[in-house]
Amino acid sequence: MSSTASRQNGTWRNWGGTVSARPAREVTPACVDELAEAVRRAAEDGLRVKAVGSGHSFTSVAATDGVLIRPQLLTGIRTIDREAGTVTVEAGTPLKRLNLALAREGLSLTNMGDIMEQTVSGATATGTHGTGRDSGSIAAQIRGLELVTADGSVLTCSATENPEVFAAARIGLGALGVVTAITFAVEPVFLLHAREEPMPLDRVLAGFDELWAENEHFEFYWFPHTDSTNTKRNNRSAGPERPVGRLAGWYEDEFLSNGVFQAANWVGRAVPAAIPAIARISSRALSARTYTDIPYKVFTSPRRVRFVEMEYAVPREAVVDTLRELKAMVDRSPLRISFPVEVRTAPADDITLSTASGRDSAYIAVHMFRGTPYQAYFTAAERVFTAHEGRPHWGKVHTRDAEYLSRVYPRFAEFTALRNRLDPDRRFGNDYLRRVLGP
């Protein structure tokens, strides 16, 4: 199996190794009719249903004990409408395949996250995002959706057709139905000029508002136990195209960011006391660089070092305080953290359960190397994030429940009312949805 989650002896496992499940059966439908039939048969057998993407969520959002619907045969581009600036893709299409196909057609998504292994439906279902001043998550680029609902019927929605479904189903957590096709807004492919450079944390925090305002896509990584960050500024460029050289790209993106980083994490796991020294070296390892390339080659890079992640969205104006509190917490704790903290932004959007719903947001993500105890760090970080009305990424580790989430999402009840209407018997339910949405 390619990059999708692993399967052994009937057990499904996610990428991070944090979740496993034993579905009663698996189906791999090749068309919408087959998928609808699988949902109807599950209902006859009294089984719950869950479509999975590539298993890149750290939470058990995709886990099921019922019928597991695999995406592999529901892939590819259905139509491109150049006049409308849209592309319609089958829901199981990996983002990588979409990006390559769009580039061949001279088109691109506007914004995306750090990797492109996820399927389009899996990525959007949990609100996967990159960083942007004006452009939001991948789901915010959706213009239309087709889904199979609990009774096995096909429902389509857009801003003008079933708008109340469209408002919620773009980030549907798999709770409203099985998405079968997604129509994305696309634009003629463009070039991004990338500028990556180390910067002291104090300078980044003091200048955060300017760095955000002056760049279309600003983000940074802070290395715990140090005062250092790596900053990334991506802005549209008239060219010329100047990709990272093959050797330099291999050295920075494979050798340092994956190979050496993996080895450093092994050492850190064996000797936690060495982590602050390793962090100081890591923070200096990547040098400043600039390059200009098409969007997906700038936004995404390979992530081979396995980790566990928690990420919260806080109001953008709270990000500097939140980060200072996170740093103070790490500094006074015995924690040893070998993974950098990633900080990104998104403008407010109009999706019911988007982490950026109705609020300009900043994301703070904490990571731990796989196999290292992460609970103490994540618990302490979560306390900092929730003090700022943080909203957890739906696909990343968190401990929030429906009671908390209904307080930080003003439109929470709108989502659950729609869920009651579309899936009254909770055909698409699982333990995770019960916790975050209620029974």
Ligand X SMILES: Cc1cc2nc3c(=O)[nH]c(=O)nc-3n(C[C@H](O)[C@H](O)[C@H](O)COP(=O)(O)OP(=O)(O)OC[C@H]3O[C@@H](n4cnc5c(N)ncnc54)[C@H](O)[C@@H]3O)c2cc1C
- Residue 126 engages ligand X in binding (rule: CB under 6 A): yes
Nearer to ligand X, 106 or 342 (CB): 342
Which of residues 42, 57, 319, 400 is near ligand X by CB under 6 A? 57
- Residue 305 engages ligand X in binding (rule: CB under 6 A): no
Which of residues 91, 343, 346, 437 is near ligand X by CB under 6 A? 91
Residue span binding ligand X (CB under 6 A) among the ranges 110-118, 151-159, 188-196, 284-292: 110-118
Nearer to ligand X, 48 or 393 (CB): 393
- Residue 183 engages ligand X in binding (rule: CB under 6 A): no
Alpha-carbon distances, residue 69 vs 11, 92, 173, 179, 382 (angstroms):
14, 10, 15, 11, 32
CB contact at 8 A, 176 and 418: yes
Which of residues 19, 23, 47, 54 is near ligand X by CB under 6 A? 54
Which of residues 89, 173, 341, 364 is near ligand X by CB under 6 A? 173
Nearer to ligand X, 56 or 225 (CB): 56
- Tokens describing residue 384: 């900092």
Least distance between ligand X and beta carbon 265 (Å): 14
DSSP character at residue 49 = E
Q: Choose among 221, 202, 258: nearest CA to 344.
A: 221
Which of residues 67, 89, 102, 115 is near ligand X by CB under 6 A? 115
Classify 438 as helix, strand or coil. Answer: coil
Which of residues 19, 29, 50, 416 is near ligand X by CB under 6 A? 50
d(CA 345, CA 360): 8
Q: What string of DSSP letters covers 173-216?
A: TT-S-EEEEEEEE-EE--EEEEEEEEEEHHHHHHTHHHHHHH-S
- Residue 128 engages ligand X in binding (rule: CB under 6 A): yes
- Residue 292 engages ligand X in binding (rule: CB under 6 A): no
Residue span binding ligand X (CB under 6 A) among the ranges 121-129, 153-161, 263-271, 288-296: 121-129
Nearer to ligand X, 121 or 234 (CB): 121
Which of residues 42, 123, 381, 397 is near ligand X by CB under 6 A? 123
Tell the residue number behind the tokens 């990428």, with chain if given. Answer: 15
d(CA 72, CA 75): 7
Residue span binding ligand X (CB under 6 A) among the ranges 23-31, 49-57, 278-286, 405-413: 49-57
Sign of CA dihedral 363, 366, 370, 374: negative
Helix, strand and coil percent figures for the chain, each rounded to 5: 35, 25, 40
Q: CA 393: distance to chain centroid?
A: 7
Alpha-carbon distances, residue 394 vs 56, 61, 170, 292, 322 (angstroms):
12, 8, 13, 32, 20
- Residue 364 engages ligand X in binding (rule: CB under 6 A): no
d(CA 225, CA 340): 10
Half-sphere exposure of 305 (CA within 13 A, CB side): 22
- Tokens describing residue 337: 């953290």
- Residue 174 engages ligand X in binding (rule: CB under 6 A): yes
Residue span binding ligand X (CB under 6 A) among the ranges 39-47, 80-88, 111-119, 384-392: 111-119
Cis peptide before 276 (omega within 30 of 0): no
- Residue 47 engages ligand X in binding (rule: CB under 6 A): no
Which residues 13-42 are close enough to bind ligand X by CB under 6 A? 15-16
d(CA 151, CA 167): 21
- Residue 129 engages ligand X in binding (rule: CB under 6 A): yes
| Strand spans (E) along 1-111 | 7-8, 11-13, 20-21, 25-27, 49-51, 67-69, 77-81, 86-90, 107-108
- Residue 51 engages ligand X in binding (rule: CB under 6 A): yes
Which residues 197-216 are close enough to bind ligand X by CB under 6 A? none
Which residues 376-395 are close enough to bind ligand X by CB under 6 A? 393, 395
Least distance between ligand X and beta carbon 117 (Å): 7
- Residue 353 engages ligand X in binding (rule: CB under 6 A): no
Which of residues 12, 36, 56, 229 is near ligand X by CB under 6 A? 56
Number of residues that bind ligand X (CB under 6 A): 32
The backbone torsions φ and ψ at residue 322, rounded to the nearest 5 degrees and listed phi first, read -60, -45
- Residue 62 engages ligand X in binding (rule: CB under 6 A): yes
Nearer to ligand X, 118 or 257 (CB): 118
Residues near ligand X, by CB under 6 A: 15-16, 50-57, 61-62, 91, 113-115, 118-119, 121-123, 125-126, 128-129, 173-174, 178-179, 303, 393, 395
